[in-house]
Structure 1
Amino acid sequence: MRKLDDSAIEKKADTLHGWMVVKRDGGPRLEREFPFDDFTDALAFTLKVGVIAEKADHHPLMETGWGRVRVVWWSHSLGGLSERDFEMAEKTSALYVR
């Protein structure tokens, strides 16, 4: 895995619907909040994301609350974003069915 530069991040971010690139703790991260009708649906989505994260051995920050799940992807070891983060964001979006 290699850390993407700002230009590559900008190009790739344009292809992700609903995701934002945010700077936190000095590095870029991919962040999206997914709305749900209740806590049960939010929790079920959190578990689905957890399964794909575990299979990929790449784990996001997730905050689950009533009617929402916030997912944040970044490569901790690189202190920024990699191709894998964008792949995982796409996989996460694919799990979201409304």
Structure 2
Amino acid sequence: MASLLTDTEIQERAKPLEGWIVEGKTLRLTRKFKDFVEAIAFVNQLVEPAEAAGHHPDLEISYNQITITLTTHDAGGLTSKDFELAQVISRL
């Protein structure tokens, strides 16, 4: 199991992640798209990196808006896995 990051480590790792915010024990990003089709196309792009990492985001879909929430459930908070996947998602 991945170990939890300290508050200082979380803040340092969050700094370079544009658009991501730390909310409690989660890392969250909301993106808006032209329409539902584009939003779902983006969600489909998340499948491969999430599967490769063995780490899956929680997703909220509302028409053209996707909210991605990362946390390491079995560790009870944020770990390096969350920040690594956030970096990959940021490049999509």
Residue 2 of structure 1 and its aligned partner are, at CA, apart by 1.3
TM-score by length of 2: 0.93
Counterpart among 71, 75, 78 of residue 72 in structure 2: 75
Aligned-partner Cα distance in 2 for 1:69–1:36: 8
Equivalences, count: 91
> What's the offset of the Cα at 1:51?
2.0
- For 2:28, the equivalent position in structure 1 comes to 31
Match of 1:88 in 2: 85
Deviation, structure 1 residue 50: 2.0
Give the CA deviation at 1:54.
Answer: 1.3
- State the match for 1:53 in structure 2: 50
Unaligned runs of 5+ in 2: none
Could you report, residue by residue, the CA deviation over 1:54-97 in whole angstroms, capped at 9, with x for unpaired residues?
121101101122111100011001111111110100111111xx
Among the aligned pairs, what percent are the same residue?
Answer: 35
| Residue of structure 2 equivalent to 1:21 | 22
2-side partners of 1:68 and 1:51: how far apart?
20
Question: How far, CA to CA, are the matches of 1:39 and 1:53 in structure 2?
Answer: 21
Residue aligned with 2:10, SS:
helix
Which letter does structure 2 place at the counterpart of 1:45? Answer: F
Q: Give the aligned residue type for 1:60.
A: P
SS in 2 for 1:2: coil
**What's the TM-score, normalizing by structure 1?**
0.88
